[in-house]
Amino acid sequence: MDTGPVGRATTAPSPPHAGKAAPRGELEIAGLSCRRGDQTLFSGVSLSLASGELLFVRGRNGSGKTTLLRILCGLTEPATGEVRWRGQPIRRLEEAARRELLYVGHRDAVKEELTPLENLDIHQGLRGERGDLERQLDALEEAGLGGREDIPVRYLSQGQRRRTALARLLVSPARLWILDEPLTALDRSAVAWLFERIAAYLREGGIVVTTSHQSIDGLPEPRILDLD
């Protein structure tokens, strides 16, 4: 019916347990398609991610990467298809299950007038986690914001602002990270740090879905979803 640019999803490399008897992954995506206006952004996206897997979503500008990520965390409703997290529909997760998901969006939810430390504290409060000052300071230190914990974010650079957002990954326990363009504005050392962090997280059994326009050499071998 629509003749807009229809993205074809290819998942490669395919999971080793292909076939009917595939064990359920933790994040299951079935037959997703998305429409904006009367254009179809992508359709027929199906895959399943198990513990320790990294999914890299690739595509041109406007191919629907951000939208796909938003669908994955349940912000946007897909035109067709569904997303399940451990068997539960993503838009109807229970409280405990919602804590397992951590999303750092394109718009990074950092408040300009607050300090990195306050931002982190708000973030934890919102997720119902107990704010632990030591842990928060450690996270900021590791994210390269040592000594700047107490300066309102509006006086910091874009990259430091982004680091503030990414420091959340360190304070919140979660099973699934969804990171939209996390490398934007990061310098080389920060990128290296983030890749290392992601690798460690995957080794611990976490799942990561991410996008980027930059090179991802240095990350563990990802599964790739091409939206073009």
Residues that bind other proteins (CB under 8 A): 1-3, 31, 36-38, 70, 73-82, 89, 91, 95-96, 98-99, 101, 103, 105-114, 118, 121-123, 125-128
Q: Least distance in Å: CB of 188 to other proteins?
A: 25
Cα dihedral across residues 150, 155, 159, 162: positive or negative: positive
Q: Give CA torsion, residues 70, 74, 76, 77, to 10 deg.
A: 140
Rounded CA-CA distance 54/220 in Å is 8
Q: Least distance in Å: CB of 190 to other proteins?
A: 19
Q: Least distance in Å: CB of 81 to other proteins?
A: 5
Cis peptide before 16 (omega within 30 of 0): no
Left (φ > 0), alpha (ψ -120 to 50) or beta: where does 59 sit? left
Residue whose CB is less far from other proteins, 99 or 220? 99
Strand-pairing partners, residue 104, are 179
Rounded CA-CA distance 27/207 in Å is 9
Residue whose CB is less far from other proteins, 106 or 135? 106
Residue whose CB is less far from other proteins, 122 or 199? 122
Residue whose CB is less far from other proteins, 84 or 223? 84
Residue whose CB is less far from other proteins, 20 or 107? 107
Concatenating the DSSP letter of every residue in 128-140 gives TPPP-HHHHHHHH
Q: Least distance in Å: CB of 107 to other proteins?
A: 3
Are the C-beta atoms of residues 211 and 177 closer than 8 Å to each other?
Answer: no
Strand-pairing partners, residue 101, are 176
Q: Least distance in Å: CB of 117 to other proteins?
A: 12
